[in-house]
Amino acid sequence: MTCNYTGYGALDDTAMKSTTESKKTAHHDSTYLVLGGTGGIGTALCRRLASLGARLVVVARIAERLNTLANDLDALAYPLDATDFDGVDTCFSAATQHHGRIDGIVCCIGSLLLKPAHTTTEVEWVDTISANLTSAFAAVRSGARCMRKHGGSIVLISSAAARIGLANHEAIAAAKAGVVGLTLSAAATYAPRNIRVNCVAPGLVRTGLTASLTENESSCRASTALHALGRIGEPEDVASVIEWLLSPEQHWVTGQVIGVDGGLGTVRSR
Ligand SMILES: NC(=O)c1ccc[n+]([C@@H]2O[C@H](COP(=O)([O-])OP(=O)(O)OC[C@H]3O[C@@H](n4cnc5c(N)ncnc54)[C@H](OP(=O)(O)O)[C@@H]3O)[C@@H](O)[C@H]2O)c1
């Protein structure tokens, strides 16, 4: 597995200066590793962080999409299957070596399986756990290794489906509930190292992952009705909360599961 220095690493000093001469923000000069950075929520997050002066390392499997985004944001692209523990370790070490340190890690990797338990195959179950929980565990495992000296922030993504019983979500709900358990335990373990671990739990967000739901008028209407605030989410709704959790200004926030779900997980208004 090789590090693909398509973006940031390929710039000359002059170009680098011009990208870093933007207005100072809490994220200025911070380095963040975004796993699943080419997805709907991941891309919104990467664009937001880049606009705030952060340096980015973006990970996903499909190199073409990854390179396009990395070039656009002057980011470092690292093509990788993030369920591979050794691969994630190598990636995090390469990123640390390249940038000096990693200040935050976000795992935006996931999948969606809408099926009742009795029709779910073993392969579908294993794939769901792998995409949603194993990737998050790998991010925490390698993240703790590379941030244990100076601290940092890890943000994972659970789901409203881990909070409220939604029909036909058994496998994905189990995987996302695992992400909550992982968040809480890791927050306790790594608090003495000043590594904060939090997660967000979105409702239905309009991304490629959910196109089959959001682009079908009747399913979209039915899903929207479950969200008390009367609309489904947009990637930026979730990205803004993740950015808040990453910020060094939130240095007293850890072990939290923040619903970013229009009320889906907790509120019934009609
Ligand atoms: N959208 C929603 O309604 C919703 C609701 C609740 C929770 N969530 C959670 O929010 C997160 C982001 O969702 P999204 O809607 O933005 O998903 P998405 O658009 O499908 O993006 C998923 C990203 O993960 C990457 N990826 C998938 N498997 C990977 C693997 N094994 N290794 C490395 N990269 C991998 C994909 O790129 P490649 O395919 O190139 O690898 C892509 O960049 C996920 O955890 C999802 O479960 C989403």
Residue 36 beta carbon below 6 angstroms from any ligand 1 atom: yes
Which ligand 1 atom minimizes the distance to the CA of 235? 16
pLDDT at 24: 80
Residue 214 beta carbon below 6 angstroms from any ligand 1 atom: no
pLDDT at 23: 57
Which residue segments constitute the domains of the chain, with CATH numbers given?
Answer: 8-205+235-260 (3.40.50.720)
Q: Atom 37 (ligand 1): residue with closest C-alpha?
A: 60
Which ligand 1 atom minimizes the distance to the CA of 209? 20
Residue 61 beta carbon below 6 angstroms from any ligand 1 atom: yes
Please choose, from the candidates 42, 38, 103, the residue with its C-alpha nearest in 3D space to the C-alpha of residue 77: 38
Q: How far is the CA of 218 from the centre of ligand 1 (A)?
A: 24
Residue 204 beta carbon below 6 angstroms from any ligand 1 atom: yes
Cβ-based neighbour number of residue 242 at 10 Å = 30
Residue 108 beta carbon below 6 angstroms from any ligand 1 atom: yes
Which ligand 1 atom minimizes the distance to the CA of 172? 47
pLDDT at 16: 41
Angle between the N-to-C axes of helices 40-51 and 235-246, in degrees from 0 to 180, rounded to the nearest 10: 50
Residue 153 beta carbon below 6 angstroms from any ligand 1 atom: no
Q: Atom 2 (ligand 1): residue with closest C-alpha?
A: 205
Q: Atom 12 (ligand 1): residue with closest C-alpha?
A: 108
Tokens representing residue 73 in the block: 């944001």
Q: How far is the CA of 192 from the centre of ligand 1 (A)?
A: 30
pLDDT by residue for the chain (270 residues), tens only, comes to: 333 333 333 333 433 444 445 458 888 889 999 999 999 999 999 999 999 999 999 999 999 999 999 999 999 999 999 999 999 999 999 999 999 999 999 999 999 999 999 999 999 999 999 999 999 999 999 999 999 999 999 999 999 999 999 999 999 999 999 999 999 999 999 999 999 999 999 999 999 999 999 999 999 999 999 999 999 999 999 999 999 999 999 999 999 999 999 999 999 987
Best mutation site among 209, 213, 227 for ligand 1 pocket (most ligand atoms within 8 Å of CB): 209
